[in-house]
Amino acid sequence: MPLSRRALLAATAGVVVVPALAQSPKPREEEPLILRAHRKGLVYGASVPAASLANPVFGDILADECGLIATQGEADWAALQPQPGRFDFTGFDRLANFAQRRNLLFRPRSLIRHSGLPDWMAEAVTPASAGRTLTEHVGPVIARYRGRVHSWDIVSEAVEPAHGRADGLRITPWLKAMGPRYIDVAFRLARAIDRDALLAYSDSGLDAGAPEHATRRRSVLGLLDWLRGRGVPLDALSIDSRLDALAPFDGPAFRDFLRAVAGMGLRVIIAGLDVTASHADRAAERLGRYIETALSEKAVIAVISAGLANQGGSDRSSYGLPLDGDLNRTPAWVALARAFDAAPAR
Q: Which tens digits make up the pLDDT trace of 156-213?
A: 999 999 999 999 999 999 999 999 999 999 999 999 999 999 999 999 999 999 999 9
Q: Give the pLDDT confidence score for residue 26 in this predicted structure.
A: 67
By C-alpha distance, which of 330, 329, 328, 326 is closest to 19?
Answer: 326
Q: Give the pLDDT confidence score for residue 110 in this predicted structure.
A: 87
Residue-averaged pLDDT of the chain: 90
Q: Give the pLDDT confidence score for residue 13 in this predicted structure.
A: 35
Q: Give the pLDDT confidence score for residue 7 in this predicted structure.
A: 33
Q: Give the pLDDT confidence score for residue 310 in this predicted structure.
A: 84
Note the pLDDT tens digit of each residue in 315-337. Answer: 456 789 999 989 999 999 999 99
CATH class entry, domain 37-342 = alpha beta
Q: Give the pLDDT confidence score for residue 218 in this predicted structure.
A: 97
Contact 241, 273 (CB under 8 A): yes
Contact 215, 166 (CB under 8 A): no
Contact 26, 328 (CB under 8 A): yes
By C-alpha distance, which of 183, 131, 125, 128 is closest to 153?
Answer: 183
Q: Give the pLDDT confidence score for residue 23 in this predicted structure.
A: 58
Residues of the chain with pLDDT under 70: 1-28, 311-317
Domain ranges of the chain: 37-342
Instruction: Convert 170-196 to b/e letters by CB count within 10 Å (16 or more is b).
Output: bebbbbebbebebbbbbbbbbbebbee
